[in-house]
A and B are shown apart, each in its own frame.
Chain A
Amino acid sequence: MSGENILQVTNVCKSFGGVQALLNVSFNVGQGEVFGIIGPNGSGKTTLINCITGFIKMDSGKVLYQSSDISGKAPNQIANLGLTRTFQIMRPYYSLPAYKNLIVPLFSPRARRSGGWRGGGKLGDRATVSIDILEEIGFERDSFVPYKLASSLPTGYLKRLELARCLALRPDIILCDEVFSGLSMSEIASMVPLIEKLQMDGITLVMIEHRLRELFRVASRVMVLNFGEKLTEGIPEEVMQDERVKEAYLGSEKLLDYTFEA
Chain B
Amino acid sequence: MSQEISTIERRRERIDRGIKVRTEGIYAVSSWQEVAYLVLPRLILIVGLLLLPLLAPSLYWKRVASIAGIYALLALGFDFLAHFVGLVSLGGAFFIGVGGYTAAILNTSLGLPLVLTIPMATVGGAMICTLLLLPALPLRGVYFAIVTLMYPLALMRIIEALNIFGGTDGILGVAGFPNRWVEQYLIIFIVILALFALRRLVNEDIGLVFRGVKDNDQAVRASGLSITLYKAIAVFIASGLGSLGGAYLSHIYMWSGISQFGLDFSVIPIAATVIGGGGTLVGPLLGCFFLVFFSEWLREFGTLRIVFYSLILMAFIMFRSDGVMVYAQRKYHQFQRWVKV
Contacts from A to B (Cβ < 8 Å): 53, 55, 74-76, 79-80, 84-85, 87, 91-97, 100-101, 103-111, 119, 126, 144, 147, 165, 168-169
Contact = CB atoms under 8 A, between A and B. Distances in A.
27 contacts: A53-B222, A55-B218, A74-B221, A76-B222, A76-B224, A79-B221, A79-B223, A87-B218, A87-B219, A91-B219, A91-B222, A92-B215, A92-B219, A93-B208, A96-B208, A97-B24, A97-B25, A103-B208, A104-B208, A104-B212, A106-B205, A107-B225, A109-B225, A111-B224, A119-B205, A144-B22, A169-B223
B282 to A, nearest CB: 18
Contacts of A144: 22
A84 B211 CA distance: 21
A240 B208 CA distance: 46
B306 interface: no
B312 to A, nearest CB: 30
B222 A79 contact: yes
A75 B225 CA distance: 9
Interface string B1-42: 000000000000000000000111100000000000000000
B208 A100 contact: yes
Nearest to B217: A91
B210 to A, nearest CB: 10
Contacts of A147: 22-23
A108 B216 contact: no
Interface of B: 22-25, 205-206, 208-209, 211-212, 214-216, 218-227
A84 B224 CA distance: 9
Which one of A91, A126, A165 has the highest number of Cβ atoms from chain B below 10 Å of its Cβ? A91
A109 B206 CA distance: 12
Given A93-B215, A97-B23, A105 B208 contact: no
Contacts of B218: 55, 75, 87, 91
A74 B22 contact: no
B226 A76 contact: yes
Contacts of B223: 76, 79, 104-105, 107-108, 165, 168-169
B215 A96 contact: yes
Contacts of A75: 218, 221-222
Nearest to A165: B223
A107 B208 contact: yes
Contact of B225 (A55, A76, A96): A76
A191 B137 CA distance: 39
Given A93-B215, A96-B211, A147-B22, A107 B222 contact: no
A95 B205 contact: no
Given A76-B226, A111-B224, A126-B205, A95 B211 contact: yes
A104 B23 contact: no
A26 B23 CA distance: 48
B131 to A, nearest CB: 21
B333 to A, nearest CB: 16
Given A101-B212, A110-B224, A165-B222, 15 more contacts: A74-B226, A75-B222, A76-B223, A76-B226, A84-B222, A92-B216, A93-B216, A95-B211, A95-B214, A95-B215, A104-B219, A107-B206, A107-B209, A111-B224, A169-B223
A144 B220 CA distance: 25
Contacts of B224: 76, 79-80, 84, 105, 108-111, 169
A85 B215 CA distance: 18
Contact of A85 (B209, B214, B222): B222
Nearest to A79: B224
A224 B223 CA distance: 28
CB-based closest 4 A-B pairs: A108-B224, A79-B224, A105-B223, A93-B215
Nearest to B229: A76
